[in-house]
């Protein structure tokens, strides 16, 4: 018997089958498409996006009250939406705004002290996780939700120290649905400060969480918001970050055509910060925030006009030793180069921090004006000499001449030890 020959034949067949399986897997994942350019350079230009048709109108148009039928189909997008294949390959997708109100708000516990509510009415797409250790301490929070003075059954109530909007979801510490008498009971951490009720026709205002029973009233009509972002008069593939008073932290949504439509938000103050969708996960678009006041039964409309008369600074981190950084903080300051790490922190103030794979990426400072001299600086934490050793801190700065327009790249050597 020619066993070696048969074994060789069998091995070749197995290798060929594995290769075919790998090719099929790559094809399904789209890895076989041409890769995105790997250059550090990131050119930001206004993206000419075709004007999209208006969204499906509610009865009476955008200014009309939300539909009262509990079977109204939700629309889980805000503004006109480009098909996925038309979006830039590396653009960041933070999720969409919610252009209509759903009849119900699906929720999902992500951990013993975290819950997410989908604001479009679709199932929650976030992953649950079980952190190590004992479950956190909780206390009962009870209350009642009214709508027009009558009990509001089937309303979602979410509480937390600070709520967060992200990727079309509202996250907090705990949530519950009201019963037939509009009442709810949930277990929340002692630090929970705010409650928000989400109804099929409107939301409540942010309600402080105290020691007694909560009395929450849904607004008589939805407080709506429409924001249009343009750059040089053309639609801009943009992001919008919302901060709603003290109770809802800034959350980011995106719109390829630069039009954001929110069918409901809590009545009260709101701060809007817009910018271009960035081509890398690490970066900042320096646009001054816009403050508005949301009113029940009204649609607040704002057009934010940007221009391209500015530059982008692409800062490339260079770490000579110690392996890839665990985290990197970035700052762009005026000359001269800081003489110490303490001086850098004092002059830079709050510095954005990135970890994981983003730590080693090029960081982009967008919309920098006027032209002139700047200093790009970074502070990195590197792995210690052993697993038990604390991280090693290194920092560095590099001068850069910022042009009036375009992109300038600068390498920042992160090699100076912390004092």
Q: Round the CA-based radius of gyration of the chain to a whole number and report it.
A: 26
Q: Which residues contact 123 (CB under 8 A, 6 or more apart)?
A: 106, 108
pLDDT attached to residue 23: 43
Is 261 within 8 Å of 281 (Cβ atoms)?
no
Choices 3.40.50.970, 3.40.50.80, 2.60.40.10, 1.10.238.10: CATH for 53-125+138-307: 2.60.40.10
What confidence category does residue 29 fall into, taking pLDDT thresholds of 50, 70 and 90? very low
pLDDT attached to residue 77: 32
Tens digit of pLDDT for each residue in 346-364?
Answer: 999 988 888 877 788 889 8
Q: What is the DSSP string of 82-117?
A: --GGGS-TT--------SS--SS--EEEEETTEEEE
Between 308 and 1, name the one with better pLDDT.
308
This prediction has a pTM of 0.66
What confidence category does residue 66 fall into, taking pLDDT thresholds of 50, 70 and 90? very low
Whole-angstrom distance between the N-terminal and C-terminal Cα of the chain?
74
Tens digit of pLDDT for each residue in 119-167?
Answer: 888 888 777 776 666 778 899 999 999 999 999 999 999 999 989 887 7
Lowest mean pLDDT among 20-29, 103-112, 132-141, 358-367: 20-29
Smallest CA-to-CA distance from 237 within 183, 291, 292, 278 is with 278
Q: Are β-strands 363-368 and 283-285 bridged in parallel, bridged antiparallel, or unpaired? A: parallel
Between the alpha carbon of residue 106 and those of residues 123, 176, 271, 346, the distances in Å are: 6, 11, 27, 45
Domain covering 311-417 in this structure, CATH number: 2.60.40.1120
pLDDT attached to residue 67: 31
Tens digit of pLDDT for each residue in 182-193?
Answer: 999 999 999 999
What span, in angstroms and rounded, lies between the C-alpha atoms of 287 and 323?
A: 34
Smallest CA-to-CA distance from 31 within 42, 41, 22, 18 is with 22
What span, in angstroms and rounded, lies between the C-alpha atoms of 136 and 278?
A: 37
Range 91-118 average pLDDT? 83
Ranges for all domains in the chain classified under CATH 2.60.40.10: 53-125+138-307
Phi (first) and psi of residue 19, to 5 degrees: -65, -40
What span, in angstroms and rounded, lies between the C-alpha atoms of 264 and 222?
A: 5
What span, in angstroms and rounded, lies between the C-alpha atoms of 277 and 24?
A: 32
Ranges for all domains in the chain classified under CATH 2.60.40.1120: 311-417
Between the alpha carbon of residue 394 and those of residues 228, 330, 344, 390, the distances in Å are: 42, 12, 12, 13
Output the six-digit token pair for 220: 């008589």
Between the alpha carbon of residue 345 and those of residues 330, 379, 411, 414, the distances in Å are: 10, 9, 20, 15
How many other C-beta atoms can be found within 10 angstroms of the C-beta atom of residue 287? Answer: 18
């Amino acid at each position: 018997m020619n066993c070696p020959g048969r074994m060789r034949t069998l091995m070749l067949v197995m290798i060929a089958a594995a290769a075919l399986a790998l090719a099929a897997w790559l094809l399904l994942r789209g890895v076989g498409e041409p890769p995105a350019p790997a250059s550090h350079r990131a050119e930001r230009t206004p993206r000419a996006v075709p004007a999209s048709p208006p969204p499906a109108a509610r009865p009476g148009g955008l200014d009309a009250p939300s539909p009262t039928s509990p079977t109204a189909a939700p629309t889980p997008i805000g503004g006109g939406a480009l098909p996925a294949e038309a979006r830039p390959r590396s653009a960041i997708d933070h999720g969409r705004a919610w252009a209509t109100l759903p009849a119900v708000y699906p929720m999902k516990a992500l951990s013993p002290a975290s819950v997410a509510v989908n604001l479009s009415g679709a199932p929650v797409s976030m992953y649950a996780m079980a952190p190590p250790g004992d479950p956190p301490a909780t206390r009962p929070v009870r209350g009642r939700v009214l709508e027009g003075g009558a009990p509001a059954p089937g309303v979602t109530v979410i509480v937390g120290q600070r709520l967060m909007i992200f990727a079309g979801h509202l996250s907090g510490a705990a949530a519950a649905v009201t019963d037939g008498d509009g009442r709810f009971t949930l277990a929340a951490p002692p630090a929970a400060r705010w409650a928000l009720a989400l109804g099929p026709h409107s939301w409540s205002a942010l309600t402080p969480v105290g020691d007694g029973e909560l009395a929450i009233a849904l607004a008589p009509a939805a407080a709506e918001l429409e924001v249009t972002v343009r750059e040089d008069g053309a639609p801009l593939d943009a992001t919008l970050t919302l901060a709603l008073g003290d109770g809802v932290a800034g959350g980011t949504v995106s719109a390829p055509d630069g039009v954001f439509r929110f069918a409901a938000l809590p009545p009260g103050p709101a701060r809007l910060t817009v910018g271009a969708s960035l081509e890398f996960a690490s970066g900042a678009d320096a646009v001054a925030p816009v403050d508005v006041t949301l009113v029940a039964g009204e649609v607040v409309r704002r057009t934010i006009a940007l221009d391209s008369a500015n530059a982008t600074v692409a800062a490339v981190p260079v770490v000579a030793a110690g392996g890839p950084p665990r985290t990197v903080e970035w700052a762009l300051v005026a000359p001269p180069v800081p003489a110490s790490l303490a001086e850098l922190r004092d002059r830079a103030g709050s510095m954005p921090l990135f970890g994981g794979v983003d730590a080693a990426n090029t960081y982009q400072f967008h919309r920098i004006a006027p032209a002139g001299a700047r200093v790009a600086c970074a502070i990195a934490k590197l792995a210690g000499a052993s697993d038990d050793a604390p991280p090693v801190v290194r920092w560095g700065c590099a001068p850069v001449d910022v042009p009036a327009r375009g992109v300038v790249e600068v390498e920042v050597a992160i090699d100076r030890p912390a004092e």
